[in-house]
Each structure stands twice: as C-alpha cells, then as structure tokens.
Amino acid sequence: MATAQEKATPTSFASAAGKAAADGVLQSWTDPSQDPITNRSSTSVSMIRPVSSLSPDPNTKGITIMTRAQTCHPLEPLTAAEISVAVATVRAAGATPEVRDSMRFVEVVLVEPVKHVVALADAYFFPPFQPSLLPRTKGGPVIPTKLPPRRARLVVYNKRSNETSIWIVELAEVRATTRGGHHRGKVISSEVVPNVQPPMDAVEYAECEAVVKDFPPFREAMKKRGIDDMDLVMVDPWCAGYHSDSDAPSRRLAKPLIFCRTESDCPMENGYARPVEGIHVLVDMQNMVVIEFEDRKLIPLPPADPLRNYTSGETRGGVDRSDIKPLQIIQPEGPSFRVSGHFIEWQKWNFRIGFTPREGLVIYSVAYVDDGRGRRPVAHRLSFVEMVVPYGDPNDPHYRKNAFDAGEDGLGKNAHSLKKGCDCLGYIKYFDAHFTNFTGGVETIENCVCLHEEDHGILWKHQDWRTGLAEVRRSRRLSVSFVCTVANYEYGFFWHFYQDGKIEAEVKLTGILSLGALPPGETRKYGTTIAPGLYAPVHQHFFVARMDMAVDCRPGETFNQVVEVNVKIEEPGKDNVHNNAFYAEEELLRSELQAMRDCNPLSARHWIIRNTRTVNRSGQLTGFKLMPGSNCLPLAGSEAKFLRRAAFLKHNLWVTPYARDEMYPGGEFPNQNPRVGEGLATWVKQNRSLEETDVVLWYVFGVTHIPRLEDWPVMPVERIGFMLMPHGFFNSSPAVDVPPSASDLDLKDNVVAAKPIQNGLLAKL
C-alpha cells in the first residue's frame, strides 16, 4: 500500500539524521522474530549502548538522533517493488521449471516486526521522536545503528501438485525491480502446509466461470430454461465449505451459483435478480474442469422485474429524484490532520495505518497525547480478521452458503477504488494499496483507503436556565475506511476517532441480496418473497474485530487485564426499602475459559481493559471500555456444519494473552477445512492466565437479516459496530478542550440568525 501523490497535502517531518558518539559499547541485533532488547546474538547489524553516550544534535532539543536515516518505517506496507522482489525470489527458488511455472501467489504481506522493534523505530528513527516508548533498563536501552531488514511472507499455491506453502523472504534495500533481477531478496524459510486450501483468487473465479459456461451439459440445461446466449449467464464461484468428507482439502473445489441477465446490451443490469436454481455444479479448481454436474429440478427463471435495476437516470423502475439541491462540505484552510507516509496525527490522536490482502485496513500503534502525561498508548493493532455469512434456508443450494469472506476470499483483495464526492465527502487523503495477483504480478488499487474529517453533530451542550447562558461543543471525528465487494454484497469498514477519546468500529452493509427462485405459486418459509418467483433467504452477518490492546503500556509491559461489568438489582430489604436500587458489579476475567462471554443488554454488560499499574487522580486504575452495540449469536443448531469452522461465533467476546502466531479466529486456512485443533476455540483450551498480561480481545458482532421488500433491488446501508471508550483514562473530559462553537450564528446565507436569550427562555423569532 502506498500513498497517492497529489491527493492531499501531507506534512513533512524532519529527517532522522545525526551523529552518534563512537565510544559506545557495540552490541548486535537478534533474529527479528525475537525481542531485540533482551536477546542478543551475532548478526550483521551493530548496536550502541548506552543511550547517554550518544551526542544529541543541538537542533533537536535534546532528542538523540541516529547516525543513519531509515527510509522505511518497519510497519509501512510493502511497496510494489518489494512485492515484485519477494515474488521473484520465491519463483527463482523453485527446484524445476515445472515447479516455478506452477506457482500461484495467493498473498504477499509484510512480516510485522516484534513490538520492541516498532517502539525503537518510533523512539529514535522516525519523527516525531518518542524516546519514552522504550522501557527503562539498567545502563539504558540498547540502540542499534539501523533497523533489521524488512521481511515478506508469501502464501504460494502450487497448481501442479495442489500444495500450499509459506515462504519468508528477507528484503534488502529495494528501490526498484530491475530487468536483470537485481535486488533480489533472500529466502529465510519455506514450509509446505499439509491438508489445506488457500483463499480463492479473482483469476480463478474468471476461469471457473468460463469453464462452466463452456460445459455442454450446462449449456443444454440453460437451453431448457430458454437461455441460448451465454453472455447473459453469470457464474459466481463459491467456496465449497466443509459439509462432508467429500469437501476435504485434498481437492480444490468450488460450487458455483448461477444467475442470468435478460439483456445482453445492458452491462449494468442486475443479474442477481434472476437466480438459476435446480442445477448442481462442482468444479475442480486445480485442473479447471467440471467434475460433477446434475440438472436436478427445472425451476422457471423469475420473470424480468421492472424494478430490478439500480442505475442512475431513467430506469425501468422510474426516474431519479430532482428536488435535491447541492450539499457542499468545504475546508478552505485544509484538514486538521497531518500525514507523513502512513503516520497520522489528528487532534490528540496518532497512529499508523496499514493494509493486508486478507484483513484490509489495519490500525497500528494507537496513542493519545495527554497534555499532563505525554503520549499514552491505547492499542498496538486493530483490525477485522474474519467475517462469516451463514444462511438460514435448509434448501439446496442455500444451506451451503456460509462464506468466510476474509479467510476464503480476502477483504483487502476485494477492495476497490473510492470516488471523491460519492464514497467520501470533504477534504480527502487517499492511500493506494498494492497486491500480487495469482500469477505473481503486482496490481494497484488506487484510492483504496479514505482518510477524512466529518462533522458529527453536538459533542456536548449545557444551558443554565437561570442565566440563559449556554455552552456548546461541536463534535468532529476522523474517519479511516475502505469498501470491498464480495460477490453480491458490499461492506464498508470504518474506524472513527473522536475528540473526547472514543474509538468507534463500524461496518456498513449494503449491495444486493443473494436470492432464490420460486416455482409459480410457491412461497418459502425461510425467506421473504420480494417479487414474482423471487425470494430472499434469511441470513446473518458476523464480523470479528481483533484488538491487541496496550492501555497505558509501553512495549514490553504486560500490565493489562479485562473486567466485566454487570448492573445488578439490589435485593429488597433494609438497603432497598424503596425497591429502586441497582448498582454496577465488576468481575475480573482471570483466565481464557472464564473470558468466553456474551452480550447481555438486560444487565448493561460491558468490559473494561485496565492497566494494573497506572491510576487516575481518584486512585482508580486507568482503562478503556468496550461498549457493545446491537448484536446476536448464530441462529443454528449446535451441530450445524459451518460451526465446525466457525466455533468462534458461539460467544461475543474472547480474550487471550498475546501470541504472535494467533491471528485468525478460524485458523489461517478456513477454506474446505474441517477445523480440527485450530483457531480461537482451540487456543483458549490452554486456559492461560489473564490477570496481568498483554491482552488481545476478539469481539464478535453480527446482525440477523430478515429481508424486507424495501431491500430490493438494492439494500440500503445497515450499520453495526461497537465503541472503545475511555473509562477512568483521563482525569477530566477531553471534550472541554474542544473549541466552543460560535454563540451567535450570523452566517451570510443563514435563513434565520440566532437571537439572544432573555430570562432563560429563547426570544421569539
């Protein structure tokens, strides 16, 4: 992912350059997968100790600056050149030409360094310099003269052998890929992962569609339904899931869904309005052949619905509204945020953004600058790591629709370019994203991530009825987002940062319903009839947010715990003679099994992530509160096949101690996996202690969708999410520091100007 030039005005920071004293004690780096502060072994990168022996540059106000400027922060996403080098390195390592030709590149991502390396980079190599990030050690921390080399992790599928392998490649100073293959990386490790299938790729989807449409029995089946033109046919290859041993990952399988448009000259026609049912197709995606085909039941295609289309202008369903006047959002002095690479500063927040093919947007190193206490960490890493969409119709083919849109397809790889004035309004800073395609080439999604400010109504207000005086603070938030399309649905993922210290995670669901066809005169118990011969099955959407927290913790500190809070009604008696008493009761979640929790709106249940060593002015431990929004649990029996792969859906909250290799709640490869001994539900069986550690929260939230008539032909945006709110983190509300709004609105084009307040009442206008 890379910043797009001429899309905003980033603030440039001073370069990290200076001269270190030569009389320090030379040390050496460790393996980047280890702790560079506490473990030391011999490699080629030297380190200097102690900090006090380094000569500060008088122009940096006492901050030590290293001898060599680093050009790339260790959390910067891989550049297009780095991806090319990583792919070329792995391909060159293939044993034979046949092996090299059969390599398919599913994913190339940055190997994220350990937290101490990130802290070191932020403290001494990249402005704004933050030396306080490093833990205090006897004699001072060890400071290297340069950071360790960047590494890439590649998931490679061998189309010839049907094997999946993981490669780690060390990248040197990569500036550009040359024709001669210079600047190649170094293979650190490679490992074949047995009995798994990696995510599907868009190239495979296109090939699968072509294979099915060219299959003679399929063409004959479509003729029975009155379709001769294969250009009208849409084949959506869905992953097979895991329903029986026949779905085992020994074969790479897809079970496509079929749809059909009505007019070949209308490319924007909504083809999902005409599902083709009764046809069973199974495709071997390794060899790209149809291995099973059956025309099981002839169900007529739904008639052409005049309301099916969604394009602007005059359509078959009516005309666009014409009474909307322009609405402009302008910032004549530019935005209030500052950008340097992928480092963001806004109000008192600062953080870094990244992007991966699987998760999409990643938020790193979230901190709040508190005037009295300096930079205060909140979280090390925030992202959406999985989503599951199970359907509630037991009929074929809908019972097997339970997509893992992150693990089977990739949220990031399905992201698309955003358009100013449509997807985002205001002063926008866009970021591009780079990915490898299936054959190893690099593709760029321009304007993939949107960063902008939004007005968000009133932050707080109070009016004194005695004096008639009022104080108002206008709310503003910083929004970071991306949007992806997975088949028929669109998902917008947002992280909002507020001026009063809140962080909101929000998902916006929209797009087009996945439909089923009905025989004439029939209805379906498990869905909503939305047009003649057409129904929308009931289904659910679940999202998993992984939050690697660090509330008031510097790197290396493990001082967080999680407390559950429930409101209890006081028992009738002498302490509750009026039967009106209730109170909040806290319970420390001491272990992983105890921390498997569900939402309970009846008790206003929420959870607090606390620092066990830091207190506020009242002597209370500082913390952040996870406040649930609307939520649900799976509406499926305990023996449902999809729950074998998605056991993490059985609870809304899971808490684990940080482990570097525990990233995905359903395991790394959920595609066609029976899910035995992998994933979140297995990890917590260790029942590790949570009383004081480096905690990771896995919050599962979802929505149950009972389609409405108004969800056709498009589904208006539905919003779900949750809030991280400061709880005893500040000594007083940060909202007080927000600049007040003008007391008298006397703008040039206002229809009505505000009048003075008299006798505590608004004067009549």
Please report, to the nearest 10 degrees, the dihedral formed by the alpha carbons of residues 665, 669, 673, 679 taken in order. -20
* Residue 26 CA: distances (Å) to CA of 42, 123, 133, 143, 502: 11, 19, 22, 10, 44
- How far apart are the C-alpha atoms of 5 and 134, rounded to whole Å? 33
Q: Which residues, other chains included, contact 162 with Cβ-Cβ below 8 Å and sequence gap of 6+?
A: 250, 251, 252, 286
The conformation of residue 273, written as its DSSP 8-state character, comes to: G
Give dist(CA 569, CA 580) in Å, integer: 8
Instruction: In whole angstroms, give the CA distance from residue 633 to residue 655.
Output: 17
Type and span of the H or E element at 118: helix 115-120
| Residue 489 among the catalytic residues | yes
Question: Is there a catalytic annotation at residue 236?
Answer: no
Q: Enter the tokens of residue 706.
A: 């009972």
Q: Which of 567, 602, 597, 569 is nearest to 585 (CA)?
A: 567
The C-alpha atoms of residue 302 and residue 515 are separated, in whole angstroms, by 11
Residue with tokens 């910083």: 478
Cis check for the bond before 217: say yes or no (omega within 30 of 0). no
Q: Which of 405, 409, 500, 694 is the catalytic position? A: 405
Q: Which residues of 192-221 are buried (b: 16+ CB within 10 A; e: fewer)?
A: eeeebbbbbbeebbebbbebbbebeebeeb
DSSP symbol at 55: P
Of residues 683, 293, 353, 682, the one with CA closest to residue 497? 353
Query: Catalytic: which of 124, 430, 489, 498?
Result: 489
Give the C-alpha separation, 274 to 262, whole Å: 8
Interatomic CA distance for residues 480 and 343, integer angstroms: 12
* 338-340 vs 560-569, strand pairing mode: unpaired
Return the active site residues: 405, 489
